[in-house]
Structure 1
């Protein structure tokens, strides 16, 4: 599926491709806000659902990957192919994207024990692409071995995990260290997205 060509003032990220990866019980706003904000700037967004983790209630493997507050993937209120497309993990190459975003919620618990996800995250990072995680999302970065020696932040429940993995934890809304961007909670989404946009604009 191809994206619909759009015109308008939001063109700073035209030509950039951002992927958002999520398993069941992701934090809805931490997926929706970056999707809308980066799309507004002209980026093409790929959402990658991973059918792992807690099943949407009631448990049914045939149901779509769903957020804590009921947001399904595909997103019912946004036209598929208009501002985003949905792809399986195996269909996305790190070469095809400029940034990867990992929302929080309970989704990271499932993503961090999926070897295919960890391999993908590591390859995105190694290619110098932006890897951004918010709230519990940095748990995936820990399991991928990407936080040692890095300045990072996260939801405070993840603080000790980050320190034990060799990171320097800082209590700031959003932090960038190289091509890793992290943030604490939904209230920090504006700062999180500003850092992502800034990082993408630096890339030719």
Structure 2
């Protein structure tokens, strides 16, 4: 996917990672691609490439294609810390990314999320069904305030998280959003938090 032209802005020099797979919610993904660039941030879409140089995924609503050529596996600690934020989007992205061939091992995307939670300098943004990706690492969200899709409330409570009935919830370095329909509020909150962090 061709990079979007960056505008000079308060997030110039900032990088944001968005995890991707098929059945993504197109309005959300295309909004992130342009909205963060408006603030000067570069957005990298990462996926499990399964040995391919790139993969083209299709959206959930309109079957829109989206090609990703950056792998999430093998990201070094330094490369992970280069990202100001890692976003797990809505739709079925998290469910597809949490697949693992060996049930005794974390899926690569879940392992990446586990590592991101160990980095307080990296903001974790998880929206709607995205919290599925954390289901195998409940310790990452245990005791944290979160919101999620209504269908996942039981899941997040079983993971030990504290469900909060708001459209967007911020708990330190974790931002969660209720549904893909709330992506604009979620993105605005993330932008504001990253600007505050950069100002420090």
TM-score, structure 2 normalization: 0.81
* Residue 64 of structure 1, CA deviation: 1.5
| Moved segments of 4+, more than 6 Å | 2-5
**What residue number does 2:147 align with?**
153
Q: Does 1:143 align with 2:136?
A: yes
Task: Pick one of 84, 89, 104 that aligns with 2:72.
Answer: 89
Matches of 2:113 and 2:133, distance apart in 1: 8
> Runs of 5+ in structure 2 lacking a partner?
101-106
Task: Pick one of 173, 189, 200 that aligns with 2:167.
Answer: 173
Matches of 1:86 and 1:31, distance apart in 2: 16
Contact 1:30 1:134 in 2 (8 A): no
Contact 2:18 2:43 in 1 (8 A): yes
Q: What number of residue pairs does the alignment pair up?
A: 183
> Runs of 5+ in structure 1 lacking a partner?
53-61, 75-84
**DSSP-derived class of the 2:59 partner:** coil
Matches of 2:48 and 2:31, distance apart in 1: 19
TM-score, structure 1 normalization: 0.80
* Residue 50 of structure 1, CA deviation: 3.2
**What residue number does 1:59 align with?**
none
Contact 2:55 2:69 in 1 (8 A): no
**DSSP-derived class of the 2:37 partner:** helix
- Bigger mean CA deviation after superposition, 187-196 or 153-162: 187-196
**DSSP-derived class of the 2:20 partner:** strand
After superposition, the Cα gap between the structure-2 partners of 1:66 and 1:3, relative to the gap in structure 1 and judged at 3 Å, is closer
Task: Pick one of 57, 60, 73 that aligns with 2:66.
Answer: 73
CA RMSD of aligned residues (A): 2.5
After superposition, the Cα gap between the structure-2 partners of 1:164 and 1:35, relative to the gap in structure 1 and judged at 3 Å, is same
